[in-house]
Structure 1
Amino acid sequence: KYAVTVITRIFYSVNKCHSGRITLRQVRRSDLLDAFFLVDAEEDINKVTRYFSYEHFYVLYCRFWELDHDRDYRITREDLLKYGDHSLSHMIVDRIFDAAPRPFGSAPDDNNKDYLSYEDFIFFMLSEEDKSNEVSVRYWFNCLDVDGDQRLNNMEMRSFYAVQLHRMQCMNHEIVPFEDMLCQMMDMIKPQHSDYLVAEDFLQPECAQVSGALFDALFNLNKYLMFEQRDPFVERQKREDEFETDWDRFACIDYNRLAMEEEAREEEAMEIDWVTVDEDDDGDDDVIEGEDLATGGNASSEAPF
């Protein structure tokens, strides 16, 4: 699975048209060769965050494993709705299955519209946790562009946001009207046209770090609420930290979470083992006492280990 993860990540970043074939021109335009040289020279593979980090693989695979309850290596719509503490709307989940780009040139069809493979999930998760790069922007733009005209109009955005409004009401959160949300986002993105958005609007250098907020507003309620309640000091810390991308930051935090959970499970297992040993000792003492009565106290006990 590590090799599959590395290959899928390479195709995700290098083969941006998702044709399933990487051309020499795409290789030259990418950082793939630099990553090859770096991973060849670097002893710690986790320092090569582009494509090869084992910690990144661990995060991706564990997240997939957490959702794949029946262990058939397929994620259903119901499974994906649980991602990120049920942060995604059912409307965007349907669009992910129906319209999101798939790895290696494959396209959603009647045979695979009902599930995501591990490779499909990698595409989804890389796009979900870092909405500031071109690949993820086009991934989500395709999902939101319901009529396929390469334009995101107010009607499409309003339909997605209506689901968010309903979720806000159910969770007793303060309601942010669609017009207010859209005005705020347009001020940040500054699109070329006031009536609709195109993918290139999100890719402007000056708004690369904030354009993902519109995507979150339309389908990820948890992240949108975090954006609304963001702390300027924390945001400045993010801009000044060591991570090159939002994905690198997320993967580091999530890997530490998974490592702590694994350590806690191991400690709990050790405690259970010791409790079992103590119970066995108590049982042995009872037997020995009976033997002592029969043999005059000369019996000896064997160590439990």
Structure 2
Amino acid sequence: MTGSVNWQQALSRYVAAAPSQPPKQHAQETAAEIGTGQQPRADSAHRSHTSIPRFYTKRTPKESPLSQKLERATYARFVQSRRSSLPSNDELDYLWETLLEATAEGGSDEERRIDFVEFQQIQQLVPKKFQSFFAPSIFLQLLQGAEAETIAIVQFFNYVLRKVSLLQARIELGVYDLDCDTYLNEEDIQAYVADLMPALNLETLSSSFHKFYLCTASRKFSFFLDPMRRGKIKIQTILLSPILTELFELREPELPKDFERTNWFSSYSSLRVYGQFLNLDTDRNGMLSREELSNYNGGSLTSVFLDRVFQECQTYGGEMDYRGFLDFVLAMENVQTPESMAYFFRALDINGEGYLDGPTVMFFFKAVVDKMTAMGHESIGIRDVKNEIFDMANPKVDSRISLDDLVRSGVGGTIIKVLSDVEGFWAYESRESFEPQK
């Protein structure tokens, strides 16, 4: 790891690496350093402020266009100053070379270590932009074990890379926070991704497809990071999410084929999903009817389940638009995640009581059995499978499976597939032994 390094690529790789400090703590520090739009703290002199929550916040008066322009110009200068305060690629390169020179006799890069005295000596050799990274508290955080007295230079450098990457991302996301409330809506995220696209490995996408790509990309952020559908996502939440890391991975100039197939933001994935939508949209009206969606995944989903999906999801004239289809695909392809389980649990909870009882489980699985027998397969004991599902879910309350039970069980995604998808049941039934999902 000697010589000049492409830090733009290195930063994106290190964002995904396990940090020495918990990622949440990194992002919280970053938000604290750059965050804007926070409510002022209550006056500590008034005891009521510490005991009575604030129920009303005075609405900010609508500003004049000139005032808004002045505010944006001021914020733009602030962002530029923050950008200039971060280490450049050359400066990161210089930091690494300095670490190597200070440990010239320490063996391989991974084996080289420094104690606190050497840590302070290196601080005097690097640009002032790095001074905050040489705080004694950071050295203590990176010590591994109570008896440790040294830290690995690779470990420290990874810490710097990750922190710089988080700061860069926080600054860039903040540019799209037009009202400075530390939240981004879906349009803001699309604008951010649009400006990022030239730096991503997306050369195979035609310009006519860009608007569909932006919708596809932003929808993953909304689906997983805004489960309550508030219409906005806190910037700190975006920073903490692996979804942003997944997007940044497209900065790599060469993408392996298997990578393209698993990364939601790749050209291959976005074209695949859009192609699915076009193939299902047989009447070419830009929407999917209940009948058209029944052909998804080769027609393996039951009619009962699809009916409930259309009853619970937002439709327009009884049909699903592309954004709704993206939510459906994200839920189907990530069924093991809590967000996807919540999406499908609303469809399975036919009584709206917050749990699935025995009759509900048998109702949905009977539709799976009916579809299997119609295809010429032998019937399955519905009650036996119902009992097996309850054993798998192990609900806290007997005979009632809640969403929390599904998530906690580690097999919630499989249970959902068994109750909705013929192929999902076959995949489960064909396994000799079942292992909880990770």
**TM-score, normalised relative to structure 2:** 0.47
Residue of structure 2 equivalent to 1:180: 384
How far did residue 86 of structure 1 move? 1.3
* Residue type of the alignment partner of 1:224: F
Residue of structure 2 equivalent to 1:12: 223
1:85 to 289, 298, 304: 298
1:31 and 2:235 are equivalent in the alignment: no
Residue of structure 1 equivalent to 2:267: 54
How far did residue 28 of structure 1 move? 4.5
- The farther-off stretch of 78-87 and 27-36 is 27-36
Q: 1:187, 1:153 → 2: CA distance? A: 13
How far did residue 211 of structure 1 move? 2.2
Residue of structure 2 equivalent to 1:152: 356
Q: Against the structure 1 CA distance between its residues 52 and 44, is the aligned structure 2 distance closer, same or farther, given a 3 Å change threshold? A: farther
How far did residue 141 of structure 1 move? 0.3
Question: Superposition pairs for residues 177-256 of structure 1, below 5 Å?
Answer: 177-204=381-408, 207-208=409-410, 210-230=411-431
Q: 1:25, 1:186 → 2: CA distance? A: 38
Which stretches in structure 2 are left out of the alignment for 5+ residues? 1-211
How far did residue 189 of structure 1 move? 2.3
**TM-score, normalised relative to structure 1:** 0.66
Residue of structure 2 equivalent to 1:288: none
SS of the residue 2:265 aligns to: coil
Residue of structure 2 equivalent to 1:130: 334
SS of the residue 2:419 aligns to: helix
Alpha-carbon RMSD across the aligned residues, in angstroms, is 2.5
Q: 1:182, 1:173 → 2: CA distance? A: 19
How far did residue 173 of structure 1 move? 1.7
Bigger relative contact order (CA 8 A; separation at least 6):
1
Q: 2:236, 2:403 → 1: CA distance? A: 23
How far did residue 133 of structure 1 move? 0.3
1:10–1:51 contact (8 Å) kept in structure 2: no
Residue of structure 1 equivalent to 2:373: 169
Q: Against the structure 1 CA distance between its residues 4 and 167, is the aligned structure 2 distance closer, same or farther, given a 3 Å change threshold? A: same
1:145–1:152 contact (8 Å) kept in structure 2: yes
Question: Superposition pairs for residues 217-296 of structure 1, below 5 Å?
Answer: 217-230=418-431
Q: 2:359, 2:333 → 1: CA distance? A: 26
2:300–2:421 contact (8 Å) kept in structure 1: yes
Q: 1:215, 1:140 → 2: CA distance? A: 7
2:338–2:407 contact (8 Å) kept in structure 1: yes
Q: 2:225, 2:266 → 1: CA distance? A: 17
Whichever structure has more helix as a proportion of its residues is: 1
How far did residue 213 of structure 1 move? 2.1
How far did residue 172 of structure 1 move? 2.8
Describe the superposition over 1:169-228 as per-residue Cα deviations: whole angstroms up to 9, x where unpaired.
Answer: 222322222221122222222221221111111112xx43x3222212222112212221
How far did residue 95 of structure 1 move? 1.1
Residue of structure 1 equivalent to 2:276: 63
Give the total of aligned pairs: 223
Q: 1:143, 1:17 → 2: CA distance? A: 16
1:42 to 252, 262, 265: 252
1:98–1:113 contact (8 Å) kept in structure 2: no
How far did residue 45 of structure 1 move? 6.4
Residue of structure 2 equivalent to 1:286: none
1:74–1:118 contact (8 Å) kept in structure 2: yes
1:118 and 2:322 are equivalent in the alignment: yes
SS of the residue 1:195 aligns to: coil
* Residue type of the alignment partner of 2:298: D
* Residue type of the alignment partner of 1:217: V
1:153–1:197 contact (8 Å) kept in structure 2: yes
Q: Against the structure 1 CA distance between its residues 161 and 98, is the aligned structure 2 distance closer, same or farther, given a 3 Å change threshold? A: same
Q: Against the structure 1 CA distance between its residues 113 and 22, is the aligned structure 2 distance closer, same or farther, given a 3 Å change threshold? A: farther
Q: 1:6, 1:94 → 2: CA distance? A: 27
2:302–2:420 contact (8 Å) kept in structure 1: yes
Q: 1:31, 1:18 → 2: CA distance? A: 19
Q: 2:295, 2:303 → 1: CA distance? A: 10
